[in-house]
Structure 1
Amino acid sequence: MTQKKLHPSVLKFKEFVKNNPKIIKEVRDGKATWQELYEDWYLLGEEDQRWETIGTEKATEPETSNESKGDWMSNIMGMVKKMDPNQMQNHINNLSQALGAIQGVISQFQGGNAAAGSIKPPEGPKNPFGFRKD
């Protein structure tokens, strides 16, 4: 495998992160991005007080179930407020088209004419009685 050579400062930051596993947890919990942390590290340095406080905020404040429920609801409401109705409509249309395509493929495998949306009963003989005219 060919690996792109990283800038020396990025390599130093990676080494810093390996020595401070709380930073990885910070990113995985969604509290910060790698870009933000790298910029802070680059500007503030390794000895800044910010790195000592990472991961300790939650340990000092225990959560109660009511607070977590309220926090969950506020997160949901915040996401609903941030939604763009036009973008949601586009996503719904794309999903609808994808489902229609999947239904079309399934109906082709099931035997043909069901793609038109009308399911025909099995055809028997046109005249169920086999009497002939004499």
Structure 2
Amino acid sequence: MKNASNPSVQQFKAFIHEHPLLIKEIKQGKMSLQEAYEQYVLLGEEDPSWNKYKPNQDKNDSKDTSTNQLYQKLWKHIEKLDVNQVETHISDLNGAIDNVLTLIDQFKHFRNNQMGESQSGNFFYKPKD
């Protein structure tokens, strides 16, 4: 690292600024700058061992990847669906909903009839003053 104009040194400077946790370890004395540079030269920028020195990525990035994984899983399940079975289940569900609505309507008519009979059954009833 004696020659600061060396292109690899310039690349290392840019690399180290992208990995602030590596700078932190160097400042704490866990690793020397020379050791970091030697590893950089030997391993290269793309080595997975450098990932631990990257800043914590935004939670949005991790959410995006988990959302993408969720969409991929969902898409795989959708591709496996049998459209005829889905149509049958929707039809069955529609019939069940119609039956519940009919039952509610019948209950309303029964209740209205009960209310009407209780009032008309006492036709001659007059409250006392």
Please confirm whether the aligned pair reaches a TM-score higher than 0.5, indicating the same fold.
no
The structure having more radius of gyration, on CA atoms, is 2
TM-score normalised by the chain length of structure 1: 0.36
Whose helix proportion is higher, 1 or 2?
Answer: 2
Q: 1 or 2 for the larger relative contact order (CA 8 Å, sep ≥6)?
A: 2
